[in-house]
Structure 1
Amino acid sequence: MANVVHKILFSNEDADQIGVRDEESFLHDVITPIYEVLRKEARRNKGGKASHSKWRNYDDLNEYFWSEKCFGLKWPMDPKADFFVHSDQILRANEMGNQVPTGKRKPKTNFVEARTFWHLYRSFDRMWIFFIMAFQAMLIVAWSPSGSLAALFDEDVFRSVLSIFITQAFLNFLQAALDIILSYDAWRSFTFTEILRYLLKFAVATVWMVVLLISYASSMQNPTRLVKIFSNWAGGWLNWSFYNYAVAIYLVPNLLAFIIFFVPCLGRTMERLNWRINTLLTWWAQPKLYVGRGMHENMFSLLKYTLFWTILLISKLAFSYYVEILPLVRPTKLIMEMHVNKYPWHEVFPNVTHNVGVVIAIWTPTILVYLMDAQIWYALFSALFGVIHGGLSHLGEVSD
């Protein structure tokens, strides 16, 4: 296009010779072909009922121009390029015995949406992991004989609390598995390095889950039957100190991310360097199409942002512990101590001697509220901080 503009401005060639018919040539030669592709693809979604892997939506057409692939369209744009080929053309060509110039329709790019509720976890995995780990830790502390936060300093309670990292490893494994499963339909357009990244993340998550589980199982004093199986696999070379070392190594990436988050200049420098080790870390931690590279906030803004969420989460977790979790522990223990001779739901829970149905009934709404009430605390704190900030900034005041 730059060459065409140059010829128009600085040459005496006829406009028709350089691909410019009239003042609406951009509409006819650029806008209309792309619009036709979008319109035909949109018609293939069958009113929103077709799978997203069967048709290209706006994001796919847009992301086509994010890489050097778009130069395959040439200029003037070649109507036989793979970007303009859709399934109807392929079908008609096959019926008439003709060959579509490209032979293939352009596949989806980077992401294929799958209609599943697992996206709720995949898209907000860090939030779910934090809330689940916090709930597990608070439940262990509340279940201790004293039930106070001081019980965290007890050796047995602290050892039980450290099991939250096994939960984190399992949830990271689930996230890595979902990344592969939910993006599988888009692998045709992935590069080898992108596919390798998904597979390596899955392998690393699997290894960490197994290592932490086996090392923790081998350190328990009174293991259950399932834990004994893992302990026998591990042999006698694993002990409690090994689990501590494994957790410390497991948390190294989190520590690095913590440092980079609170030192914006370091993050900006690392993202702009071309060192091989830096390229490897960036490739592992961030997607290829990372928007905002090297555009971190300043230190003061990060401190304000972190302070806001720290106060909010402390308030939320304190309320959850003292109002939702701790009051239910003692009734739960009493219910579990009641022996049941004939359980009404023996078809569902055979050989059960405790009223587990009642325990599930009283804990289910509590867990659901615990997972969802962060938005209530956010609304309260947003209103509070908004009033304070507005007052200090004199918003809405008249100068006289």
Structure 2
Amino acid sequence: MAQRGPSGHGEMDRRRRASSNYFELDADRRRNKSERSERLSKRLDTMDVTPATFKGSSLDDEAAVDYCCEFLKAKFGFQEGSASNQREHVLLLLANGKARCLPSDPADQHLVQLGNKLFSNYRSWCKFIHTSPVTYTGNGIPNSTGSGNLHMDVMLYFLIWGEAANVRHMPECVCYLFHQMLSMVNADPQGHEQQREGWYLDQVVRPIWREASNMKRRNALNKPLEHVKIRNYDDINEYFWKQHCLSIPVAQVGQELTQNHGKTFYEHRSLFTMVLNYYRIFQFNIMFLVLLTVLAFAVTISPDGGKSGWVQFGRIGDVVEPYTTRDLKIAVVAIPFSLSLMAFFKCVMEVCHGWHLLTSKESSATSSRSFTYGSALATRIVWNGGFAVLFGTMIYVPLNQDKDTTLLDNLYPLCGAYILPGLLVLLTQAFAPQLINGTFAAKFVREGESCYVGQDMTPPMSNQVKYIVFWILLWIVEAITSYFILVRPLMLPTLSIYAMTLDYQNSLVSFHNVGIIIAL
């Protein structure tokens, strides 16, 4: 008895061709049997949808597409029904583009426009992995002029996409297939090496799909596996963000994914995830409070501190007894100290959150693991941690010893040294991002530089200016409101509690009653 497959039919049953899934009109059947005697271009001319300039032009899209379709079908074994569908798809796209062209446009304008839309992601992908885009370099396409070789590129891309199944969910995988297969076409422009029908589906798409389908595996209790134990489309697609993928032939990429490429993204559901995702909000709120507190302290100890309104800022920087300039400097040090301390803890949380990437045994050439990211993270930890200790010492020693120190005297040069690199990076990213993107320095600026997605999402400068102006105005209003209503009225009570000498009934004695101030 013959063994039956999932469909209930025997294994020897003949597989249906794609063309049998579609209703075929008698007129189309007769036209196909007559070897397309009534060509699509002729019918378009009859319907008068083609500009007069293009009628009878030397660029014959249909003849070129037919040649490319037959050549590629024999070269890679695309299914006959799928090839016929994509042939009609491409011809209709070209006809639509041609109908929108102006009489003054070049004859191949519609073809160039389609190519630009189709290959924009492919060219961006090539730039990201530092390789040159591949274009068809052979000859023999009939009636093609100028950029007529684009017919081969466009037809190959649609044939790859047409039989890609769920591989379409991995755009960079499709870019890889197109890059490799077009290189194979250029290496054999005469098409001497041919494959049987179904070779592309069986040898290229199915192994990749089989790896992606593992995400549907279930455990012994028939429940889906945990997300850390399966690979989804994003994990597999990330393999093609590395230049290493170009060294793997298309017929072996499924085996490569199975043996040498594991899961790349682990979703950590922890407190670290929440803090890192909203770090900029936490950082802004804390630094906003520190800045307003330092400003209120500087105003309070100034000669005009007892006045109201804007007059109180008239002599800011001067101090009255019993305070000294040293107290004002210590307050100013609190600003870079808070910034460096938060940046240090952020780096530590990144280490905890991305520990699997830093300690992964996979090669950095085939996974998200990156020595550059690890070294950049270590550099930021040392930089921010070192300055946090330095600024903390500038605060702690003068308060304990009640005297100025050499470090405190060099406050402003040290603050400038800490802020200058970040300021230069911000200016470079705003006005000349090309100096950083795609270089070794990018890892020190952007943690996700190994991520292909979101590389070119910088908004136009006009939108950035509007965005910045809006937030500056909002911050000014918020600063004025928070200062006069929340921070300034609490400064004198805080200084009074700080100067009090209290008798504690327990062993928990805080430095200058700081514990009480924090509790209040």
Same fold (TM over 0.5): yes
Encode CA deviations 1:111-133: one digit per residue, 9 max, x unaligned. Answer: 53322122233234344323212
Deviates more, 1:32-41 or 1:5-14: 5-14
Q: In the alignment, what sits opposite 2:291?
A: 137
Q: Which amino acid aligns with 1:113?
A: E
Report whether the alignment pairs 1:321 with 2:501. Answer: no
In 2, the alpha carbon distance for the partners of 1:43 and 1:341 equals 67
Partners of 1:353 and 1:203 lie apart in 2 by 29
Q: Is the 8 A contact 1:38 1:57 kept in 2?
A: yes
Residue of structure 2 in register with 1:384 after alignment: none
Aligned to 2:233: 58
Matched-pair contact (CA < 8 Å) for 1:140–1:160:
yes
Among 20, 25, 38, which residue is 2:212 paired with? 38
- For residue 135 of structure 1, report the CA deviation from its aligned partner: 0.5
Are residues 1:121 and 2:285 paired?
A: no
The residue type paired with residue 308 of structure 1 is F
1:172 aligns with 2:338: no
Determine the C-alpha separation between the residues in 1 that align with 2:183 and 2:460. 42
Q: Aligned pair in 2 of structure 1 residues 357, 203: CA closer, same or farther (>3 Å)?
A: closer
Q: 1:108 aligns with which of 263, 284, 287?
A: 263
> Who is 1:15 aligned against?
195
* Separation of aligned partners in 2, 1:106 and 1:335: 61
Offset from partner CA, 1:170-200 (integer Å, 9 cap, x none): 1111122122221111222423333222222
1:44-69, CA deviations, whole angstroms, 9 ceiling, x for partnerless residues?
799688463x4434332221111123
> 2:176 — aligned with what?
none
Partner amino acid, structure 1, of 2:442 = T
* Matched letter for residue 195 of structure 2: A
Aligned position for 1:251: 419
Distance 2:246 2:440 in 1: 28
**Aligned mate of 1:284, from 403, 420, 444:** 444
Amino acid at match of 1:285: V
Aligned equivalents of 2:512, 2:329: Cα separation in 1? 28
Q: For the Cα contact (< 8 Å) 1:340–1:354, is it kept in 2?
A: no
**CA gap 1:61/1:259 in 2 versus in 1, 3 angstroms:** same
How far off its partner does 1:30 sit?
A: 4.2
Q: Which residue of 2 aligns with 1:201?
A: 380
- Displacement of 1:267 in angstroms is 3.3
Q: Structure 1 residues 201, 123: CA separation in 2 closer, same or farther (over 3 Å shift)?
A: same
Q: CA shift at 1:80, angstroms?
A: 3.2
Say if 2:217 and 2:225, in contact at 8 Å, map to a contact too.
no
Deviations 1:69-109 (A, max 9, x none): 3345522235432x12xxxxxxxxxxxxxxxxx4xx63333
TM-score by length of 2: 0.49
Give the alignment of 1:194-343 within 5 angstroms.
194-218=373-397, 220=398, 223-224=399-400, 238-261=406-429, 264=431, 266-268=432-434, 270-271=435-436, 279-286=439-446, 287-289=449-451, 297-329=459-491
Checking the alignment, whether the CA contact within 8 Å between 1:112 and 1:186 is kept in structure 2 is: no
Alignment root-mean-square deviation, CA: 4.3
Return closer, same or farther for 1:301/1:201 CA change in 2, 3 Å cut-off.
Answer: same
Aligned partners of 1:209 and 1:335: how far apart in 2?
27
TM-score by length of 1: 0.62
Distance 1:319 1:282, change over 3 A: same
SS of the residue corresponding to residue 252 of structure 2 reads coil
Paired amino acid for 1:62: N
Distance 1:117 1:243, change over 3 A: same
Conserved 8 A contact 2:214-2:231: no
In structure 2, the residue matched to 1:162 is 333
The total of aligned residue pairs comes to 311
Classify the secondary structure of the residue corresponding to 1:112.
Answer: coil
- Matched residues, percent identical? 23
Specify the code of the residue in structure 2 equivalent to 1:302.
Q
8 Å Cα contact 2:283/2:342 also seen in 1:
yes
- C-alpha deviation, 1:4, in angstroms: 5.8
SS at match of 2:463: helix
C-alpha distance 341-242 of structure 1, shift in aligned 2 (>3 A): closer
Distance in 1, Cα, partners of 2:246 & 2:433: 33
Report how far residue 337 of structure 1 moved. 9.0
C-alpha change, 1:319 and 1:271, in structure 2 (3 Å) is: same
Question: Measured at CA, do residues 295 and 59 of structure 1 come closer, stay the same or move farther in structure 2, by a change above 3 Å?
Answer: closer
Structure 1 residue matching 2:250: 3-state secondary structure: coil
Q: Which has the higher contact order (CA 8 A, sep 6+)?
A: 2
Structure 2 gaps, min length 5:
1-180, 319-324
C-alpha change, 1:167 and 1:51, in structure 2 (3 Å) is farther
Give the Cα–Cα distance (whole angstroms) in 1 for the partners of residues 282 and 251 of structure 2: 50
